Chains A and B, each alone.
Chain A
């Protein structure tokens, strides 16, 4: 019952503010960004290591904090401006002040929701990718296994994210998953190439 009520409220917010597509785009972009940062971070830690677990965890947390603040601030500022512009456009079209109406109320909620998606998606992806490496370091195992596990998790995450985005947008799931995985592999390849050359 609570879930149904929440679902209806979210539906209204996204429909009235026309932010469903925006949130979906932010999600896919940021999951990809977070996963790529995670891959870079794990590679960097592995190549410059071995590091104790404390250093690995502190690095991951520091990058996560930076990503949350970056994602939250960027989306909040840009989406607030978008919503204000939308309200002004509607006010001009209806020749009515829309202050204290459903439009302004859900507009504020939409700004927060989109900022939340933009802030949390990359961090969840980053933590998911970094977790196997962190666990390996914590258990004192060979970090190369942690690196391989992190890369496998990245591939699975990108496949899932691609499938979710493809399904939500009503386009070929295999195509979106393939594109995401391809870009991930290209990034990993370039990192290896760069680290080998220098």
Chain B
């Protein structure tokens, strides 16, 4: 008799991030795309200020690690203002 194992995986995160103008969203997104589990990063600037910009990040992946993504954003000088949406999937695997 085969046993099934359930895993809950985060496959999409929509984040509202405040960041300095540099690194720009191209470099910022490329660095985030380098995080393990991230497949796609969709970034758009929502608001520009003198020193900062508010960016909406839609991060897709197979198994997103929120903590690592948060650390990467912090390491690039950004701050997560809010997690606006998320997609979580339950995967059943036969053992």
Contact = CB atoms under 8 A, between A and B. Distances in A.
A94 B50 CA distance: 11
Contact of A96 (B22, B23, B27, B77): B77
Contacts, number: 46
A175 interface: no
B59 to A, nearest CB: 18
B52 A15 contact: no
Nearest to A102: B76
A12 B23 contact: yes
Nearest to B50: A93
Nearest to B51: A93
Contacts of A94: 18-20, 51-52, 77-79
Given A18-B22, A90-B51, A95 B79 contact: yes
What is the size category of the interface that chain A forms with chain B? Answer: 10 to 19
A151 B8 CA distance: 75
Contacts of A101: 74-77
B20 A103 contact: yes
Interface residues of B, number: 17
A151 to B, nearest CB: 43
Contacts of B51: 89-90, 93-94
Nearest to A15: B22
A102 B52 contact: no
B67 interface: no
Nearest to B74: A101
Contacts of A93: 20, 49-52
B52 to A, nearest CB: 5
A16 interface: yes
Contacts of A90: 20, 51-52, 77
A182 B82 CA distance: 58
Interface of A: 12, 15-18, 89-90, 93-96, 98, 100-103
Interface of B: 18-20, 22-24, 27, 49-52, 74-79
Given A89-B51, A94-B78, A102-B76, 12 more contacts: A15-B22, A15-B23, A15-B24, A16-B22, A90-B20, A90-B77, A93-B49, A94-B19, A94-B51, A94-B77, A95-B79, A102-B23
